[in-house]
């Protein structure tokens, strides 16, 4: 099958190359209408890359609304509009990407997740289990080019 001009199928890429590519992308489009979490959004945001998601996917749309890290579209016409907006406005892309990065680092960092787990165990009176989460990994996952603010 021949791909349209400007479209390149990279096939499999390793994690380092994936982070580099996500960090160099102007934006990421996640057109799925059925996602349960969408780690790909978190990975893009960790790289400071804004996302465009389908409005009919409640999960990704809510991440975009909560984070301010992207835009959503419900039709081909709306997709054309959001594409035009992010392609023509570098400041908008940067602001969306930085908002997404802050969201991931605030809501999904090791500290944030482990604190929520610890709190959940404490709420059930499981102090010993909660104390297990006092040990934190030494480093947070990172990306490439856009990791400038939190």
In a domain, 96, yes or no: yes
Using alpha carbons only, what angle is made at residue 3 by residues 81 and 14, rounded to the nearest 5 degrees?
90
Quick one: pLDDT at residue 7? 82
β-sheet bridge partners, residue 30: 53
Higher model confidence: residue 32 or residue 112? 32
User: Residues 57, 120: one domain?
Assistant: no
What CATH number has the domain bearing residue 29?
A: 3.40.50.2000
Confidence of residue 148 (pLDDT cuts 50, 70, 90): very low
User: Residues 26, 90: one domain?
Assistant: yes
User: Residues 40, 99: one domain?
Assistant: yes
pLDDT value at 145 more than 70: no
In a domain, 146, yes or no: no
Domain that holds residue 112: 108-138
In a domain, 73, yes or no: yes
45, 81 contact by CB (below 8 A): no
Quick one: pLDDT at residue 6? 81
46, 104 contact by CB (below 8 A): yes
Domain total in the chain: 2
User: Residues 99, 115: one domain?
Assistant: no
In a domain, 6, yes or no: no
Name the DSSP letter for residue 138: S
What pTM does this model have? Answer: 0.80
pLDDT value at 65 more than 60: yes
β-sheet bridge partners, residue 51: 28, 70
Quick one: pLDDT at residue 141? 61
Strand runs labelled E in 9-85: 28-30, 51-54, 70-73
């Amino acid at each position: 099958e021949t791909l349209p001009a400007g479209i390149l199928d990279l096939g499999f890429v390793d994690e380092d190359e994936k982070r580099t590519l996500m960090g160099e992308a102007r934006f990421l489009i996640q057109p799925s209408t059925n996602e349960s979490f969408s780690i790909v959004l978190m990975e893009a945001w960790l790289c400071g890359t804004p996302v465009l998601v389908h409005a009919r996917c409640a999960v990704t749309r809510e991440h975009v609304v909560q984070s301010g890290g992207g835009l959503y579209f419900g039709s081909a016409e709306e997709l054309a509009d959001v594409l035009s907006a992010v392609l023509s406005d570098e400041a908008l892309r940067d602001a969306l990407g930085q908002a997404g990065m802050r969201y991931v680092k605030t809501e999904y960092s090791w500290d944030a997740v482990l604190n929520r787990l610890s709190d959940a165990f404490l709420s059930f009176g499981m102090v010993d289990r909660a104390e297990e989460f006092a040990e934190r990994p030494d480093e947070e996952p990172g990306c490439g080019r856009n990791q400038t603010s939190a």
